[in-house]
């Protein structure tokens, strides 16, 4: 079924404007000198003022607006897929008010979700014994907060406990016909929420106007600052391209190890690799990455956005596990624990990626009717999504910490790594940790007892957090899949531009080219790197050194070269699958796709496209 995205786009863009306006108005109210919030929630007000001082009011407003957008969309998605015990944003058929409010008015509230104090306050508001200008709205707000807090145990990355200023800044209008929640119900229909892909589209559309603002600034020579890199570079990948990349990397690796696997029958865009003779130096029975079990597979998206690549990889992995005879109820946990890893600099996108994978796990079997809710909610699993954060230390902090832990552990590589994340929001997954045995060092430091060292505890926690980020960025993946950010040197801020020249001299001209190069350092030998990028790396003189490196070091397994507008953008792109092995006689499968080849739903009418340029070409000849 093809998803209709126009209503999602209209809603997401309108919601962003409305939320920013409502949150900004609410913020000014709560910060007023004599506001009730200052008396009732002094700690939250102090925290809010500190956040504003650390950045600015507009940035804080945008962050809070985005937070509530994510939460509301997540709750609606879970309503429609029956993952919530009771409709939080949705009404029962034939009714108008959200089910959770209608039930509360009838005196019914789930005691496992709504605590005694909140139940008492909600009852008082609804029976008129508590004074309020908008008693039903206030009661409904309390119920939403209770639900969000209940989900903190299961999805802490999306539902932080709301006892801070985010609760104070929740929009006021929640029940009217013109409210944001009414718009959510209209846009997020049951059909739109059949697939978690809808969450990715909402994210893409929500940031689209911010992206336009950033691009308008570029025309005036305003460089892209770290906080605006996500909006400037995020691009949602059409589902058929996701399938092409995943099936010809993860799927290909599985088929090399299991040539008789029936999983190939589910891979519409899979192109079987050519077999080479033993005389060519390539032995198809020996020269590939050996995988004995699905649990060994490690797949990473180093610029995961809202998780579109990872959610389809989940589907393919589920089919692989099923074929191997695993218990269907255990497969979701195995996939989230062992197989899938995502890295992202945008906090809100990382939240949605983790949410999307969680929803996959809650559903269970992606190929049939199932609901793994009770099992998953009883034993929740946090998806392996790492949001890269800036972490820095003063010399005094490190000296005291090293003195406590022991000088011997702190090698030059470790000390260098502890300096590499000071601008993680700027450099992202392009950071290559100097430390090569990150996991060993993490294990050793985790065993250190700093509970009695008050001043070292914070440093210890930050060091461990940094090493967790470094671990994600270490070479260990069988498959790397990405739609990396696109940004030319003219748009890069000064620090990013200089860093690119220092660390990626062969690919410094654009972020996407640096990610092509970085993909191979994340991948183990004979692993696969699959990316959809701008086509310019194949032609421009500025990428000559990068092309030579690719020709000398790796092999193109297959490529779908796409003309302007095939991906919905006004330039040519290329979806390429590389193997991290040089095979000079290997003949990769290449096809060219024009806009005329694309049918309903932005996917090829046939694949490979039936045009005269569809051909197989020698890798060295490209």
Pairing between β-strand 555-562 and β-strand 299-301 as defined by DSSP bridges: unpaired
Q: Where in the chain are the domains?
A: 6-195, 226-385+477-587, 395-472
Give the span between the Cα atoms of 558 and 589, in whole angstroms: 5
pLDDT attached to residue 162? 59
Banded model confidence at residue 587, pLDDT cuts 50, 70, 90: confident
pLDDT above 60 for 173: yes
Banded model confidence at residue 275, pLDDT cuts 50, 70, 90: low
- 522-561 tens-digit pLDDT: 999 999 999 999 999 999 999 999 999 999 999 999 999 9
- 484-522 tens-digit pLDDT: 999 999 999 999 999 999 999 999 999 999 999 999 999
Give the span between the Cα atoms of 514 and 592, in whole angstroms: 24
CA angle 405, 410, 412 (to 5 degrees): 165
Give the span between the Cα atoms of 551 and 546, in whole angstroms: 9
Q: What percent of the chain has pLDDT over 90?
A: 65
Average pLDDT over all residues of the chain: 89
pLDDT above 70 for 69: yes
pLDDT above 80 for 1: no
> In this structure, are residues 193 and 390 in contact, taking their beta carbons and an 8 Å threshold?
no
pLDDT above 60 for 619: no
Three-class SS of residue 113? coil
Give the span between the Cα atoms of 471 and 420, in whole angstroms: 13
Report which of 363, 344, 362, 364 is spatially closest to residue 352, judged by C-alpha positions: 344
**135-150 and 57-80 are packed helices; what angle lies between their axes, rounded to 10 degrees?**
80
- 95-144 tens-digit pLDDT: 889 999 999 999 999 999 999 999 999 999 999 998 888 999 999 999 99
Give the span between the Cα atoms of 414 and 417, in whole angstroms: 5
Give the span between the Cα atoms of 333 and 283, in whole angstroms: 36
b or e along 248-273 (b: 16 or more beta carbons within 10 Å of the residue's beta carbon)?
bbbbbbbbbbbeebebbebbebbbeb
- 316-362 tens-digit pLDDT: 999 999 999 999 989 999 999 999 999 999 998 999 999 999 999 99
Write down the architecture of domain 226-385+477-587 according to CATH.
3-Layer(aba) Sandwich (3.40)
Q: How far is CA 474 from CA 415, 417, 467, in A?
A: 16, 12, 10
pLDDT, average across residues 61-89: 93
Give the span between the Cα atoms of 148 and 378, in whole angstroms: 17
Banded model confidence at residue 585, pLDDT cuts 50, 70, 90: confident
pLDDT above 60 for 433: yes
pLDDT attached to residue 163? 57
Q: Which residue has the higher pLDDT, 378 or 138?
A: 138
Give the span between the Cα atoms of 303 and 430, in whole angstroms: 10
**Does the predicted TM-score (pTM) go above 0.85?**
yes
pLDDT, average across residues 570-592: 91
């Amino acid at each position: 079924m093809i998803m209709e995205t126009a209503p999602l786009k209209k809603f997401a863009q309108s919601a962003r404007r409305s939320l920013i306006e409502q949150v900004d108005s609410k913020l000014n109210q709560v910060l007023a000198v004599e506001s009730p919030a200052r008396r009732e929630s002094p700690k939250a007000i102090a925290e809010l003022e500190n956040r504003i001082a650390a950045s600015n009011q507009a940035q804080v407003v945008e962050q809070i607006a985005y937070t509530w957008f994510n939460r509301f969309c997540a709750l609606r998605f879970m309503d429609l897929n029956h993952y919530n015990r009771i409709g939080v944003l949705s009404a029962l058929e034939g009714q108008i008010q959200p089910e959770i409010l209608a039930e509360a008015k009838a005196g019914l509230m789930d005691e496992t979700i709504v605590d005694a104090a909140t139940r008492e306050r909600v009852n008082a508001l609804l029976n008129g014994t508590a004074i309020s200008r908008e008693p039903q709205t206030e009661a409904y707000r309390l119920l939403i907060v209770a639900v969000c807090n209940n989900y903190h145990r299961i999805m802490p990355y999306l539902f932080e406990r709301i006892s801070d200023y985010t609760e104070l800044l929740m929009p006021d209008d929640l029940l009217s016909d013109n409210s944001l929640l009414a718009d959510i119900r209209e846009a997020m229909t049951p059909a739109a929420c059949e697939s978690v892909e809808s969450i990715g589209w909402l994210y893409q559309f929500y940031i689209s106007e911010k992206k336009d603002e950033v691009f308008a600034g570029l025309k005036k020579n305003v460089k892209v600052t770290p906080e605006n890199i996500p909006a400037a570079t995020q691009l949602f990948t059409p589902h058929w391209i996701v399938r092409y990349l995943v099936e010809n990397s993860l799927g290909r690796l599985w088929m090399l190890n299991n040539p008789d696997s029936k999983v190939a029958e589910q891979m519409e865009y899979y192109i079987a690799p050519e077999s080479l003779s033993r005389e060519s130096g390539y032995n198809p029975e020996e020269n590939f990455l050996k995988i004995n079990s699905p649990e060994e597979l490690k797949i990473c998206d180093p610029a995961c956005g809202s998780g579109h690549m990872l959610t389809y990889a989940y589907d393919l992995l589920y089919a692989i596990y099923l074929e191997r005879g695993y218990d269907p109820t255990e497969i979701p946990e195995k996939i989230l624990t062992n197989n899938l890893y995502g890295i992202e600099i945008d906090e809100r996108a990382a939240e949605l990626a983790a949410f999307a994978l969680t929803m996959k796990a809650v559903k269970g079997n992606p190929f049939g009717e199932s609901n793994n809710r009770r099992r998953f909610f009883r034993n929740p699993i946090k998806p392996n999504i790492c949001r890269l954060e800036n972490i820095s230390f003063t010399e005094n902090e490190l000296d005291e910490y090293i003195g406590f832990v022991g000088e011997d552990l702190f090698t030059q590589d470790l000390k260098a790594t502890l300096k590499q994340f000071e601008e993680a929001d700027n450099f992202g997954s392009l950071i290559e940790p100097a430390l090569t045995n990150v996991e060993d060092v993490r294990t050793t430091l985790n065993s250190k007892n700093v509970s009695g060292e008050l001043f070292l505890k914070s440093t210890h926690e930050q060091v461990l957090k940094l090493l967790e980020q470094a671990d994600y960025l270490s070479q260990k993946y069988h498959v790397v899949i990405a739609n990396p950010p696109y940004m030319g040197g003219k748009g890069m801020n000064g620090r990013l531009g200089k860093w690119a020249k220092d660390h990626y001299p062969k690919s410094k001209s654009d972020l996407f080219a640096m990610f092509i190069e970085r993909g191979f350092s994340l991948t183990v030998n004979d692993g696969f790197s699959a990316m959809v990028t701008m086509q310019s790396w194949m032609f421009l003189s500025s990428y000559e050194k990068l092309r030579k490196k690719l020709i000398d070091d790796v092999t193109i397994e297959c490529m779908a070269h796409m003309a302007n507008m095939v991906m919905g953008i006004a330039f040519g792109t290329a979806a390429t699958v590389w193997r991290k092995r040089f095979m000079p006689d290997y003949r990769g499968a290449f096809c060219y796709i024009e806009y005329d080849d694309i049918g309903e739903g932005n996917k090829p009418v046939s694949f490979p496209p039936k045009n005269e340029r569809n051909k197989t070409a020698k890798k060295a000849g490209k």
